[in-house]
Structure 1
Amino acid sequence: MRPGDGTGLGDEKQPGFTLPRGATGFFSPQDGPLPEMELRTLRTGLYAAARAAGGKVGELEERVYPRTFHTAALVDDTGEHILLCHAHHPYIAFVRERRHWYTEEFLTPPPWARAFEQAGFVVLGREQLGMPLTDVDTSVLSQGEWREIRFYGVTTLGGVLFNAWD
């Protein structure tokens, strides 16, 4: 897939985004558990991306509650690239530094990030992650999730996906 085709790669205007159940990391027990992104799947994507970048896989930090994401690094000849992998859905995002949550600090994915798509991930771009929630289909969100969003002052798609609310 190429920039502008809905993958999030690049910074062209992206189509709207529909949040899936569990995007915030919260769930109702009566709805059953959320899907889990296996670390094995993330490692597969990381090694494919490292080969594409001519680099190597750096530290992989498994998510710890209340974070909704795993954090990993890929090192190439331009330096260290920090990426986030949503714990429940196959979303990848790039950031400058490791933190406990993010709102608008996302980067444009490097060209080699397309390798993650071959492993079944969706690479989200800076513009898409910065999309205001008013442009996102949030119909799946519960009242409790909206309460958290308002409490933490989150206004972007990236802030909803990559958080550490409790």
Structure 2
Amino acid sequence: MAREENEMFVLPRGATGFFRPGDGPLPETDPRAFRAALHTAARAAGGRVGGVEEQARPRTFHTAVVDGADGRVVVLCHAHHPWIAFARQQRDWYTEEFLAPPPWAGAFADRGFTVLDRALLARPLPEVDTSVLSAGEWRGVRLYGITTLGGVLFNAWD
């Protein structure tokens, strides 16, 4: 379900949401697949989906709310790669505000998504393989003061 904590996370093209026209379009995570997994997860949580907001530029992720037996959880789904993260509040970008995956997070993994845990998302950028990032992406990282993997993945840079 979750990635190994000591495993080197390699940022693929599109992780930041930026692209160069010459490189072609970025991959896309199917919002319908996300919604289907979301409803399965909400049932597993003993609750319901409280709302879904599809990605809109410059944000790099879809958001949804699951109102479950244990309270409200915000589900983040990266728009370009099938990554799932969890937070307490809806925001336009995240740095270190991630939650540990809830017990029902396996519903996403069962549908082909990768559930990212809080420790991985809080990983400092020097501990991530960032070799694919362009000079423009690095400018954005520095401009916005991003220091963690989660900040790179779940952002709203313009």
| TM-score band, normalised by shorter chain | over 0.9
Task: Provide the rounded CA distance (Å) in 1 between the counterparts of 2:52 and 2:150.
Answer: 20
Task: Provide the rounded CA distance (Å) in 1 between the counterparts of 2:69 and 2:104.
Answer: 13
**Paired residue type of 1:62:** E
Alignment map for 1:11-50 (pairs within 5 Å): 13-50=5-42
2:138 matches 1:163? no
How far 1:126 moved relative to its partner? 0.6
**Match in the other structure for 1:4:** none
Among residues 17, 41, 56, which one is paired with 1:64 in the alignment? Answer: 56
Which consecutive segments of 4 or more residues in structure 1 shift more than 2 A? none
How far 1:14 moved relative to its partner? 3.5
- Structure 2 unaligned segments of length 5 or more: list them: none
How far 1:76 moved relative to its partner? 1.1
Task: Provide the rounded CA distance (Å) in 2 between the counterparts of 1:157 and 1:64.
Answer: 21
TM-score, with length taken from structure 1? 0.92
Among residues 92, 112, 119, which one is paired with 2:111 in the alignment? Answer: 119
Task: Provide the rounded CA distance (Å) in 2 between the counterparts of 1:106 and 1:56.
Answer: 21
2:74 matches 1:105? no
RMSD: 1.1
| Residues 13-22 or 26-35, more deviating | 13-22
How far 1:130 moved relative to its partner? 0.2
Task: Provide the rounded CA distance (Å) in 1 between the counterparts of 2:43 and 2:94.
Answer: 28
- Classify the secondary structure of the residue corresponding to 1:155: coil
- Classify the secondary structure of the residue corresponding to 1:107: coil
TM-score, with length taken from structure 2? 0.96
Percent identity for Structure 1 against Structure 2: 64
- Structure 1 unaligned segments of length 5 or more: list them: 2-6
How far 1:38 moved relative to its partner? 1.7
How far 1:39 moved relative to its partner? 1.2
Among residues 80, 93, 103, which one is paired with 1:88 in the alignment? Answer: 80
